[in-house]
Structure 1
Amino acid sequence: MQWWALLIVVYLSVYLEATQHHRKALYPSAYRIKRGTYSLINPTFQHSVEDVNLLFEILLAGMQIQSGDHTILIPDEELASLRNVEKLEVLCDDVLPKKLSDIRRLTAELEQRRQRLTWQDFERTVLTLVYSAQTLARVRDQRQREAWTDSVIRLFRAVQRDLRPF
């Protein structure tokens, strides 16, 4: 085998590995929604500027994301009763990772990415950051606190890196 043929084989194997890595879903549970509604497969909350503003308003109102079913608590009853909030509930209940091990897997994959996040993945990463920060505030065990702190920092860096111009 000639040296250039070997070089081509090595290049193609590296290229195939890289393309497989980029196709891997950051949030695989987005494609396995438990509620059985086709329209909620790969759910996203933000589809317009109004949705972005609404999410900001919900977060400012003190929305809490917790583990388990029906994970979001919105203190403002008017905001909580909005129809759009259903998709946010699906995102927080069924899509966001809640276990520290799942969040660490996510942060490792985010650190390896060389391309920008899709807007759906960006939204989910920000919501995972919110969940992680809220969980960190509740954790009392020092080791758990350090692990959650590391995850919050890594998620923040991923969001920050995605916002920078290339």
Structure 2
Amino acid sequence: MINMPQWWGVITVVYLSVYVAATQHRRAALFPSASRIRRGTYALIDPVFQHSVEDANLLFEILLSGMQIAKEEEAVLIPDQELASLRGVDKLEVVCEDVLPKRLSDIRRLASELSRRRQALSWRDFERTVLTLVYTTQTLANITNQHQRDAWTDTLVQLFRALQKDLAPP
């Protein structure tokens, strides 16, 4: 027979195991491809571009220069060669090419997950959501079919609202 302290220890271990699995699942749920980078470099697993205010300013400058996030399997286009050649931009390219969802169904899933979230986004998820918003906006600008345009517009609005909710004070 198990005495009371051993019983609580077993319950505690089971609870902690479930909790760790659930938190890891929740973290990976928004951008599942972040842990499956195809380039094979360990340093690029779960990549993130911004690590400082300078990186955030650089991202803003890159976006203002007219960066285009291409569809799947295509390279990111940064028109300013000087910005494109800066150290660290390769991680931004990996995030845009390999991590961001590119299909409408995947972006809608992300928007749905974001609308149900109760806690604030991590800085990684916030960065990826902003870049997904940029990609959605760029894609929407090139769609002529009204039905597709409406679907992408609805998704764009959902992403914007999720970011706005995340930025709102508690």
**Please, what TM-score do these two structures have when normalized by structure 1?**
0.86
Q: Which stretches of structure 1, 4 residues or more, deviate above 6 A after TM superposition?
A: none
Q: Take 2:42 and 2:22, find their aligned partners in 1: how far apart are those partners?
A: 26
Which of 37, 42, 45 is the aligned partner of 2:46?
42
Q: Take 2:23 and 2:103, find their aligned partners in 1: how far apart are those partners?
A: 23
CA displacement 1:8-66 (0-9 Å, x = unmatched): xxxxxxxx89x948842210100010000000000000001110000000001011111
Q: Which residue of 2 aligns with 1:163?
A: 167
Q: Take 1:115 and 1:20, find their aligned partners in 2: how far apart are those partners?
A: 14
Q: Which residue of 2 aligns with 1:154?
A: 158
Assess if the C-alpha contact under 8 Å between 1:70 and 1:89 holds in 2. Answer: no
Per-residue deviation, 1:81 = 1.1
Tell me the number of residue pairs that the alignment of Structure 1 and Structure 2 aligns: 150
Q: Which residue of 1 aligns with 2:81?
A: 77
Q: Take 1:28 and 1:68, find their aligned partners in 2: how far apart are those partners?
A: 15
Q: Take 1:35 and 1:66, find their aligned partners in 2: how far apart are those partners?
A: 17
Q: Which amino acid aligns with 1:100?
A: L
Q: Which amino acid aligns with 1:65?
A: I
* 1:118-129 matches, cutoff 5 A: 118-129=122-133
**Matching of residue 143 in structure 1 with residue 147 in structure 2:** yes
5+ residue gaps in structure 2?
Answer: 1-17
Q: Take 2:22 and 2:50, find their aligned partners in 1: how far apart are those partners?
A: 28
Per-residue deviation, 1:68 = 2.3
Distance change in 2, residues 1:143/1:94 (3 Å): same
Per-residue deviation, 1:82 = 1.1
Identity %: 65
Q: Take 1:20 and 1:50, find their aligned partners in 2: how far apart are those partners?
A: 34
CA displacement 1:69-122 (0-9 Å, x = unmatched): 243111111101112110000000100000000000001100010000000000
**Matching of residue 89 in structure 1 with residue 73 in structure 2:** no
Assess if the C-alpha contact under 8 Å between 1:22 and 1:113 holds in 2. Answer: no
**RMSD of equivalent CA atoms:** 1.7
Which of 94, 101, 104 is the aligned partner of 1:100?
104
Q: Which residue of 2 aligns with 1:4?
A: none
Q: Which amino acid aligns with 2:105?
A: S
